[in-house]
């Protein structure tokens, strides 16, 4: 299967929490990343987590890592319309980053 | 901080011509830069890893003679698509990793270049 897998779409209402899930295959990963891509733009690093951590919180963003299940999630609290974008989970492979196909988050008001 | 500038943002060219895309780290030095290609509604596919002062490392299936990469300084890498054809039309994105940041492998991305070959 793919190295990094994500669900393709998520639709939420403004003010709700969004949870984007990701699974990866490489158990030797040291860091895992979340990037955001707005239409026609490059990728913006949102956050990253060291593999020996279970959770990392940064303002409205919470990253949960279950290393045993190789599962990573990104929770966005109080989701806003400006959060509408594609969110990519990324894993390390040597010096390269391996990206999932991205989850399109749609926020309705 | 950590700004990566990519130029041009959009280019249209005739089949058979060559196109050069520049990637610059504006406020940090990058010994390593990466070039990705992204198809519509798809993920980013790594094309090559560019190291300052040495030859680029290409991923399997990427033609090195087709996609020429030069990383002549710590702040600039260029990708030249030679003899472009319509199938080369895509969104090309570069990223740069700050010196000393190899362990965390944090890459900062440019805004991308949309290439359309007629």
pLDDT tier for residue B1 given thresholds of 50, 70 and 90: low
pLDDT tier for residue B14 given thresholds of 50, 70 and 90: very high
pLDDT tier for residue A95 given thresholds of 50, 70 and 90: confident
Q: What percent of chain A has pLDDT over 90?
A: 75
pLDDT of residue A17: 97
pLDDT of residue A2: 64
Question: A77 CB near a chain B CB, below 8 Å?
Answer: no
Question: B34 CB near a chain A CB, below 8 Å?
Answer: yes
User: In whole numbers, what is the pLDDT of chain A averaged over residues?
Assistant: 92
Q: Is the pLDDT of residue B80 over 70?
A: yes
Test the B interface: residue of A5, A43, A94 with most B CBs within 10 Å: A43
Across B69-77, average pLDDT: 91
A41 vs B117: CA distance, rounded Å? 20
Closest CA to A89 of A73, A76, A107, A104: A73
**DSSP characters over chain B:** ---EEEE-SEEEE-TT--EEEEEEESSS--SEEEEEEE-TTS-EEEEEEEETTS--EEPTT--TTTEEEEEEETTEEEEEE-S--GGG-EEEEEEEE-TT-TTTT-EEE---EEEEE-
Give the nearest chain B residue to A104 (CA atoms). B41
Across B59-87, average pLDDT: 94
pLDDT tier for residue B105 given thresholds of 50, 70 and 90: confident
Task: Note whether A88 contacts B95, CB cutoff 8 Å.
Answer: no
Over residues A39-67, the pLDDT tens digits come to 888 889 999 999 889 999 999 999 999 99
Across B62-74, average pLDDT: 92
pLDDT of residue B102: 65
Q: What percent of chain B has pLDDT over 70?
A: 96
Question: B101 CB near a chain A CB, below 8 Å?
Answer: no
> Residue A5, exposed/middle/buried by CB under 10 A (0-12, 13-18, 19+)?
middle
Judging contacts by C-beta atoms under 8 Å, the chain B residues touching residue A95 are: 32, 49, 102, 105
SS3 label, residue A81: helix
Question: B42 CB near a chain A CB, below 8 Å?
Answer: yes
Q: Is the pLDDT of residue B61 over 70?
A: yes
Judging contacts by C-beta atoms under 8 Å, the chain A residues touching residue B49 are: 95-96
């Amino acid at each position: 299967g793919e190295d990094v897998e994500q669900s393709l779409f998520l639709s939420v209402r403004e003010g709700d929490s969004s949870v984007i899930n990701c699974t990866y295959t490489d158990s030797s990963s040291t860091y895992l990343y979340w990037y955001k891509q707005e239409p026609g733009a490059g990728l913006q690093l949102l956050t990253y987590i060291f593999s020996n951590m279970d959770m990392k919180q940064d303002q409205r963003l919470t990253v949960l890592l279950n290393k045993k299940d190789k599962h990573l999630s990104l929770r966005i609290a109080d989701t806003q319309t400006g959060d509408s974008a594609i969110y990519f989970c990324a894993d390390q492979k040597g010096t390269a980053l391996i990206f999932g196909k991205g989850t399109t988050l749609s926020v309705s008001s | 901080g950590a700004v990566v500038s990519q130029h041009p943002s959009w280019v249209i060219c005739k089949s058979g011509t060559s196109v050069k895309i520049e990637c610059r780290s504006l406020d940090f030095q990058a010994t390593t830069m990466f070039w990705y290609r992204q198809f519509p509604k798809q993920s980013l596919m790594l094309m090559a890893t560019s190291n300052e002062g040495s030859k680029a490392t290409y991923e399997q299936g990427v033609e090195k003679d087709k996609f020429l990469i030069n990383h002549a300084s710590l702040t600039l890498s260029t990708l030249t698509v030679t003899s472009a054809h319509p199938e080369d039309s895509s969104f090309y994105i570069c990223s740069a990793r700050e010196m000393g940041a190899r362990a965390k492998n944090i890459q900062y991305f440019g805004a991308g270049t949309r290439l359309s070959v007629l």
